[in-house]
Amino acid sequence: MKVTLDKEIIEDLVTYKLRNIKNLISNILEKWNEISTDSFLKKAQNGTYEEAENDAVDLKQLLMEEKKLTQILESLPED
């Protein structure tokens, strides 16, 4: 079965999901008083932040989702 969606609907759904992911990323960074994902992940990895392992795993997953959704948006055909 094939389903077709308007480009506008796809853009809206992906943009909505991206906005939520960015908010979750911001929440993690704020929790640890960081402004950079790279800095947070380095500090979580080297032990600077104890108890940061779960947030680091979540952040990595969110970053992968963000990248995938951004690629989907960029791959949509122009009007």
pLDDT tens profile 20-43: 999 999 999 999 999 999 999 999
Tokens of 2: 């094939």
pLDDT at residue 3 above 80? no
Q: What is the pTM of this model?
A: 0.89
Q: What angle, rounded to 10 degrees, do the helices at 7-31 and 37-46 form? A: 50
At 17, which amino acid appears?
K
> Distance between CA atoms of 63 and 71, rounded to whole angstroms?
12
